[in-house]
Amino acid sequence: MFTVHVGEADPRFGNMLLEQFGGANGELAAAMQYSVQGINCENMACKDLLMDIGTEELSHLEIIGTLARMHLKPMKKSADAAEHDPLIAIAGGGGVALCNSMGTSWTADYLKITGDLDVDLHSNIAAEARAKIVYERLINFCDDPGTKEALQFLMTREITHMRAFMQALDSLGKGPLSIGIIPPTPDIVDQYYNDSTGQGDQGEVDTTGPWNTQEGISVVEAPALSDFQVLKATPKAGRTTLNNGKARVTPGKTKR
Ligand code: MN
Ligand code: MN
């Protein structure tokens, strides 16, 4: 799928690349997650999509593995290079292993496979976003043009996958909040609990956004803190006002 060119090997960077080989958001995890989801999938169109992308991720594993191997290779013979990843140098002879950049073994626990297509597609969209940002950080820590080019290719494909999973989710014709079959309880689903209140050390205060101002959303002040303020309030302190029978706290207390 892509021919990898490396100018000068950088064992330190090779160690970082292992994150995308055997790490939590790496290519093996992506390949296994989508392929196993595909095996379980009863929607034949989405099954084909999952198997297509799962197989592509295996080819990404080959690209990132080749790239990491080229950077790790000097470890076999150079003590200086070996210092950057003693495990790979001593136990692996400068070859890639299915571990992350800290030497932790790859595990199937990384995979999110629920057996519900809409839930799995949400997981996959998030997985692609994580893979994208890890590639971006690797690119930012890299000087070698050939390596950067390969990472740019891999990063780009993750956005292509992210879009495909979003389109697949959309094609199911369910609303974005429709997960599974049992609907959420009316009223409760539209309540926003203002549970962290007061002002924090860095000036954090209660804020508003679409999540607590949009029509149909009702804000519920934290009952525990409201009771506390009513208990402590004196008219001249003026720190508590009653709003529709509910205590409203003005900023000034420690953020909890
Ligand atoms: Mn990939
Ligand atoms: Mn991907």
- Give the pTM: 0.84
Bridge-based pairing state of the strands 246-249 and 240-243: antiparallel
pLDDT at 252 over 50: no
pLDDT at 199 over 60: yes
Distance 30 CA to ligand 1 centre (A): 7
- Pair 123, 218 in one domain: no
Distance 85 CA to ligand 1 centre (A): 24
Measured in degrees and rounded to the nearest 5, phi and psi for residue 241 equal -120, 150
- Pair 166, 220 in one domain: no
Cα dihedral value 5, 11, 13, 18, nearest 10: 90
- Pair 160, 205 in one domain: no
What are the tokens at 198? 């007061």
Position 176 scores a pLDDT of: 82
- Pair 119, 16 in one domain: yes
Q: Give me the number of domains the chain comprises.
A: 2
Distance 1 CA to ligand 1 centre (A): 12
Structural domain span for residue 20: 11-171
Distance 61 CA to ligand 2 centre (A): 11
49 to 4, 57, 117, 165, 237: CA distances (angstroms): 26, 12, 12, 8, 63
Q: Determine, yes or no, domain membership for 2.
A: no
Residue 165: CA count within 13 A, CB half-sphere: 27
Distance 12 CA to ligand 2 centre (A): 25
Ligand number with the minimum distance to the CA of 59 = 1
Q: Determine, yes or no, domain membership for 98.
A: yes
- Pair 32, 92 in one domain: yes
Residue 166's contacts (CB-CB under 8 Å, 6 or more residues apart) are 125
Q: pLDDT tens digit string along 130-156?
A: 999 999 999 999 999 999 999 999 999
Distance 73 CA to ligand 2 centre (A): 27
Ligand number with the minimum distance to the CA of 150 = 1
Ligand number with the minimum distance to the CA of 33 = 2
- Pair 157, 229 in one domain: no
Ligand number with the minimum distance to the CA of 162 = 2
Distance 53 CA to ligand 2 centre (A): 7
Position 122 scores a pLDDT of: 97
- Pair 132, 198 in one domain: no
Q: pLDDT tens digit string along 211-245?
A: 999 999 999 988 777 777 666 665 554 444 444 44
**Residue 138 in contact with residue 16, Cβ under 8 Å?**
yes
Distance 56 CA to ligand 1 centre (A): 7
Ligand number with the minimum distance to the CA of 158 = 2
